Every structure is written in structure tokens, then in C-alpha cells.
């Protein structure tokens, strides 16, 4: 049976709906707050060759674009002859999955009328995988937690209980992790059921026709966008904090008639600590940066990603080989887009934003009963991971977004969800005035946070911050965003990365970084400056010093705010 292009377009839209339902099922059933509250996940459907046909809207580029390569590894490792109905496959291999051990990827083959028609895959970040815990302190991947090679979690519908016992015996939160694994398997099953419903509705025996339609049209549309670009080469560079010494990312961008080559030669070497990035994750974010700048509305799939070629010398921090420690690979990976944008801005001015906070402002706290004095009977151990965001960079025609994660796209966790996960208290969480870089378009604001534990507890904080010493840089005359700050409330200094002890009663004070400005601040319209002052986004001092607002104009805004008048 053949179908018209209109019918295939309807099926394509249906597939996107199927994988979005798959992702939402994972959000609803996952145990980890990183999935439920932050959306740190991905979901997708693949053809029998392991080519991604559609991805869920919910999820992160680092997961979904890395997962786009992962299914082919599953097919190769399991072997086509051993792929059976009722199977579920699992891995957290950083180099064949999505970059670190804390991501569980699960793949389920989809059979229709006894024939393999495709695969569903999903990934979720789990709070704990054993080892040293989520952080940069390890010297090799062997210290970072339990490694699960590509294998069968379930064969013919029967779960491997030996694997389950091994996993439970090696992690701090066994119920939570096993719950997440079952949630991943279930969401794939939901995708499979919706796919079979669609195939029966449209009379499909396989996905070959719709796969050809999706991939051919996506490839053609992407190549048309690339062909319309200037045939130029440009370089980009940025330096960030690193662990104990700064690291520099370098890229050369070459636009050819039918592809864009992104080459990271010259980038810093592999680090001794766990901020290294496997190439699969670097590739995911480099492709994402180019795609959002050049072809943002073309759906993400194997064909629309293929013309973006990413290369990097092995043993650089963006192509770290096994057994390099990679737990915080997101810190480097999240800076890849801004490095690519630095080069792309020289070829396509007025398209890309200024630099933003870049990597997520995550931290994990390991709480336990206090050891310096008797602890109350209800004191307990807990692992609490919370995702937070600095500001995004200003765009050519719009201000940056406040406390919004770019490029990862994950959500900031609510205080209530964080405090529900363990005996932690978030005493303060609010926007950070003056943290957005000044410009014609202002950078997005970071946040202030104040973190402590309930009475009777002490904790270790795993800091995962950057931008302490290298704040976001402005573009086209824009000013930098504010740097990250971290210290205890008694003035004790803390490092931006690494596990650090916080005694009972002490709090950690955080200033999360702001995005940089775009364009000369002198060109910012006066009404926007007054609006920012009225909202508390900028102080009177910044309004005067950076934007040139007069004392009378500032006084008028302050008087209007005091009277409750609109600005």
C-alpha cells in the first residue's frame, strides 16, 4: 500500500506525538527529581537500522542528540539475531550512551505482526549510581560509579533479577534507581503501543515508507539551508574555569556546500578530574548549536543532524577516551554552543546570542546525622540533587532569559521538590539584581540561593559550578554577566567544584551567574531601562553608571514604584 505525501506528513506528526507521550510518561512515573522536576531526559523512535526518526519535545539536546548515535551501538552489541519481542536493553556506558554513568539509556525493540519494525529509546539522569557520587573528584571512570554494559535488562519479558540485585547492591538510593529503570522501560512500552495503534490505523506493515519520507525531506531541507550560507571559515574560542586550572575550547567552523565541519583542534587536553567530555556529548551540543542557528524549525532526526560533522583530536577535553573521569561532562559540553557561536557570529552577524551562564548550576548534597554532637532520632541520610540555572545571554533583538538553562533546556527545580527529597532547606532563592550584562539587549539574570540542612544534620556539597573566574562575555559591545560566587555564611571560602564539607548550622550562599549583554548599552531604549529599574532587575547605581539614566529619571521611577504606578 502506498501513501500520499499528505498522509506521510500526518504520520510524521503522529510519531512526534507518540514520542512526546513517551517522554511525559517518564516524567510522570520517574522517581528521581532530576527527571520529574527538571525534565533531564530524552525519548525517541528509531527505524530498524537505528536511525532516529523523531524525538520528544521534552528533553535535553545532550541526551537526545547523543542517544541518536546510541541505538546503533545497541544493535551491534546485542546482535540482530538476538533481538526478540519482549526484550528491553540497558546501558550507562559514557561512550556508547550519553556521556557519563549517571545517565541510564534503555532501548526496546518494537515488533508488529511478528516482525521488527523499529526501536524506542529513552534516557534519564539518575541521582546516584554509586562510586564517589555525582561530582568531579574522581581520577578515572572506575571511581565514578557502577558501569552497566549494553545488555538485556529483560529477555522475552523476563527481567534479569541478578542484574537488579547487582545494581541495588552498588548504589545509595536503590529503590529510587530501580524505580527509574522500570519507569524508563515502561515509557518505551507506551511508545511501542502508540506506534502499533498508528500502524494499524494507517495500514502499515513496516516503517520503511514513513522513514524514507522523514529522512529524505529532513536531509533536503537542511542541505538547502546550508547551501544558502556563505562558504566561509571562522574560528571561535572561550576559556572557562575548569577544575584546578582554566581550560580553553577552540573551534574552527567550515561551511561547505553540503555540510558544516566543526573542528575542535587546539582545545585543552584531558583533565585529571571528572569534567572531561566524550566526543558523543560534544557532538550532541555542537550539532545543536548549529541547528538552532541555521535550521531551528526542521525536526530533529538522523538526517537533519547528518550534515553537521564534528571532529576533535583524541585526548582533548572534548574527546576524552576511556577511562577518563567524565561525571561532570556537562560542564564542558554546555560551553560548546557558545564556542561554536563565537565562530558563527563572524560568518553570520546578528544571528547568535551573547554568552550565557552556559553549564547548569547544579549541586548535590549528601546529608547525614551530625557527627560532632548527638543527633536527633529522626535524622537520616539522603542524597539530594537540584538543578538550577543562571541567566542566558542576550539575543540580537531580545533580552536574555532570567534563570533559564541554555543550552540544556532543563527546568529549574522548585524549592518544594528539593526539600521533599531530603532534610535540606533552601532558605533563599530569588533573582540576582545587576547580574545580567548591560547592553542594547540586557543579559538574563542569575539567582541568589542560600542552602542549609535541617537541625541535627551535616552535609557534603558537591559543587558543579563554573563562571567563577570567567564570566559570560558580551557580544557586539555588550558587557559581561556577573560571575558565580560561593561561600559559607560565616565567610568561609568555597571552591566552584568538588566535594566540600558543611558543618551543622552553616549555610552555603550562592550567586549564580548572569548572561552577557548584546550591543552597546548606550543604545538601550530608556523605557526598557526604567522598566528594569522598576522591576528590580537593575539597581539605581547600574541604571546611572551603565545606562546613563539621570538622577531625576531614577528618582521618578522610584517614586512611581512607591505609589504602585505602572512603568
Cβ contact 512:449 at 8 Å: yes
Please report, in angstroms and rounded to a whole number, the separation of the first and last CA atoms in the chain: 63
Q: Which residues are within 8 A (CB) of 165 and not within 5 positions of it... i.e. 6 or more apart?
A: none
Mind giving me the DSSP string for 180-218?
Answer: HHHHHHHHHHHHHHHHHHHHHHHT-S-SHHHHHHHHHHH
User: What is the predicted pLDDT for the residue at 2?
Assistant: 62
d(CA 233, CA 251): 10
Q: What is the pLDDT of residue 566?
A: 80
Considering the entire predicted model, what is its pTM? 0.96
With a CB cutoff of 8 Å and minimum separation 6, the contacts of 191 are 18, 19, 21, 22, 43, 45, 108, 110, 120
Nearest CA among 369, 344, 480 for reference residue 422: 369
From first to last of its 567 residues, the chain has per-residue pLDDT tens of 467 889 999 999 999 999 999 999 999 999 998 898 988 999 999 999 999 999 998 889 999 899 989 999 999 999 999 999 999 999 999 999 999 999 999 999 999 999 999 999 999 999 999 999 999 999 999 999 999 999 999 999 999 999 999 999 999 999 999 999 999 999 999 999 999 999 999 999 999 999 999 999 999 999 999 999 999 999 999 999 999 999 999 999 999 999 999 999 999 999 999 999 999 999 999 999 999 999 999 999 999 999 999 999 999 999 999 999 999 999 999 999 999 999 999 999 999 999 999 999 999 999 999 999 999 999 999 999 999 999 999 999 999 999 999 999 998 889 999 999 999 999 999 999 999 999 999 999 999 999 999 999 999 999 999 999 999 999 999 999 999 999 999 999 999 999 999 999 999 999 999 999 999 999 999 999 999 999 999 999 999 999 999 999 999 999 999 998 888
Q: Please tell me the distance from the alpha carbon of residue 173 to that of residue 421, in angstroms, as a whole number.
A: 11
The three cell numbers of residue 420 are 521533599
- Looking at residue 447, what is its pLDDT? 98
Distance, C-alpha 15 to centroid of its chain: 23
Give the Cα separation of 401 and 508 in Å (integer).
25
Please classify residue 82 by burial: count the beta carbons closer than 10 Å to its beta carbon, then call 0-12 exposed, 13-18 middle and 19+ buried. exposed
d(CA 304, CA 486): 41
Instruction: Quote the CA–CA distance of 285 and 308 in Å, as a whole number.
Output: 11
Residue located via cell numbers 547523543: 66
- Tell me which residue of 35, 29, 40 sits closest to 183, measured CA to CA: 29
β partners of residue 457: 369
pLDDT for res 58: 87
CA 514 vs CA 386, 453, 472: distances in Å: 19, 26, 7
Strand ranges of the sheet holding 88-91, from the earlier edge strand across to the other edge: 52-55, 41-46, 115-125, 103-112, 88-91, 151-155, 158-159
- Helices and strands: H and E segment counts in the chain: 14, 19
d(CA 68, CA 425): 38
Confidence at residue 353, expressed as pLDDT on a 0 to 100 scale: 98
Residue carrying C-alpha cell 577511562: 323
Return phi, psi of residue 557, to 5°.
-65, -45
Q: Of 275, 268, 269, whose CA–CA distance to 325 is shortest?
A: 275
| pLDDT for res 456 | 96
Torsion-angle region of residue 86: left (phi > 0), alpha (psi -120 to 50) or beta? Answer: left
Per DSSP, 298 falls in state S
Interacting residues of 398 by C-beta distance below 8 A, sequence separation 6+: 441
pLDDT at res. 214: 97
Position 565 scores a pLDDT of 87
Question: What is d(CA 227, CA 223) in angstroms, rounded to the nearest whole number?
Answer: 6
Residue-level pLDDT at 461: 97
Q: Residue 112 contacts by C-beta under 8 Å, 6 or more apart in sequence? A: 195, 196, 199, 204, 205, 206
Amino acid at each position: 500500500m502506498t501513501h500520499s505525501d499528505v498522509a506521510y506528513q500526518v504520520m510524521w506528526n503522529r510519531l512526534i506525538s507518540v514520542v512526546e507521550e513517551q517522554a511525559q510518561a517518564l516524567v510522570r512515573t520517574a522517581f528521581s527529581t532530576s527527571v520529574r522536576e527538571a525534565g533531564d531526559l530524552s525519548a525517541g523512535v528509531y527505524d530498524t537500522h537505528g536511525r532516529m526518526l523523531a524525538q520528544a519535545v521534552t528533553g535535553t539536546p545532550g541526551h537526545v542528540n547523543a542517544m541518536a548515535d546510541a541505538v546503533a551501538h545497541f544493535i551491534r552489541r546485542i546482535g540482530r539475531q538476538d533481538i526478540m519481542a519482549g526484550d528491553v536493553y540497558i546501558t550507562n556506558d559514557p561512550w556508547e550512551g550519553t556521556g557519563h554513568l549517571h545517565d541510564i539509556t534503555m532501548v526496546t525493540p518494537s515488533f508488529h505482526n511478528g516482525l521488527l519494525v523499529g526501536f524506542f529509546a529513552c534516557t534519564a539522569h539518575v541521582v546516584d549510581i554509586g562510586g564517589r557520587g555525582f561530582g568531579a573528584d574522581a581520577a578515572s571512570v572506575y571511581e565514578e560509579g557502577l558501569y552497566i554494559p549494553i545488555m538485556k535488562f529483560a529477555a522475552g519479558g523476563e527481567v534479569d533479577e541478578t542484574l537488579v540485585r547487582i545494581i541495588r547492591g552498588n548504589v545509595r538510593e536503590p529503590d529510587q534507581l530501580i524505580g527509574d529503570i522500570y519507569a524508563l522501560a515502561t515509557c518505551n512500552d507506551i511508545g511501542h503501543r502508540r506506534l502499533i495503534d498508528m500502524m494499524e490505523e494507517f495500514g502499515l506493515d513496516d516503517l520503511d515508507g514513513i522513514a524514507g519520507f522523514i529522512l529524505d525531506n529532513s536531509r533536503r531541507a537542511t542541505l538547502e539551508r546550508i547551501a544558502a550560507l556563505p562558504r566561509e571559515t571562522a574560528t571561535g574560542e572561550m576559556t572557562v574555569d575548569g577544575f584546578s586550572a582554566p581550560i580553553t575550547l577552540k573551534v574552527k567552523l567550515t561551511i561547505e556546500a553540503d555540510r558544516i565541519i566543526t573542528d575542535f583542534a587546539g582545545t585543552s587536553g584531558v583533565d585529571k578530574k571528572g569534567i572531561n567530555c566524550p566526543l558523543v556529548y560534544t557532538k550532541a551540543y555542537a550539532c545543536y548549536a548549529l541547528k538552532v542557528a541555521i535550521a531551528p524549525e526542521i525536526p530533529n532526526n538522523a538526517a537533519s543532524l547528518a550534515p553537521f560533522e564534528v571532529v576533535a583530536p583524541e585526548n582533548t577535553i572534548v574527546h576524552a577516551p576511556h577511562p577518563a573521569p567524565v561525571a561532570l561532562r556537562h560542564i564542558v559540553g554546555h560551553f560548546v554552543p557558545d564556542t561554536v557561536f563565537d565562530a558563527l557570529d563572524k560568518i553570520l552577524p546578528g544571528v547568535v546570542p551573547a554568552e550565557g551562564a552556559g553549564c547548569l548550576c547544579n549541586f548535590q548534597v549528601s546529608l547525614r546525622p551530625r557527627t560532632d554532637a548527638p543527633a536527633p532520632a529522626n535524622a537520616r541520610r539522603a542524597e539530594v540533587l537540584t538543578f538550577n540555572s543562571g541567566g542566558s545571554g542576550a539575543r540580537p533583538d531580545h533580552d536574555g532569559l532570567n534563570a533559564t538553562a541554555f543550552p540544556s533546556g532543563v527546568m529549574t527545580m522548585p524549592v518544594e521538590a528539593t526539600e521533599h527529597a531530603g532534610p535540606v532547606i533552601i532558605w533563599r532563592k530569588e533573582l540576582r539584581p545587576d547580574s545580567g550584562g548591560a547592553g542594547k539587549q540586557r543579559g538574563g539574570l542569575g539567582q541568589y540561593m542560600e542552602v542549609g540542612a535541617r537541625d541535627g544534620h551535616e552535609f557534603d556539597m558537591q559543587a558543579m559550578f563554573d563562571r567563577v573566574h570567567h564570566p559570560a562575555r558580551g557580544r557586539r559591545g555588550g558587557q559581561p554577566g556577573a560571575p558565580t560566587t560561593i561561600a559559607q555564611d560565616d565567610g568561609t571560602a568555597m571552591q566552584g567544584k568538588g566535594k566540600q564539607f558543611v558543618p551543622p548550622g552553616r549555610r552555603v550562599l550562592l550567586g549564580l551567574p548572569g548572561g552577557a549583554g548584546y550591543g552597546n548599552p548606550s543604545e538601550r531604549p530608556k523605557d526598557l531601562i526604567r522598566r528594569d529599574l522598576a522591576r528590580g532587575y537593575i539597581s539605581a547605581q547600574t541604571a546611572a553608571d551603565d545606562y546613563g539614566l539621570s538622577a531625576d529619571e531614577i528618582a521618578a521611577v522610584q517614586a512611581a514604584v512607591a505609589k504602585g504606578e505602572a512603568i
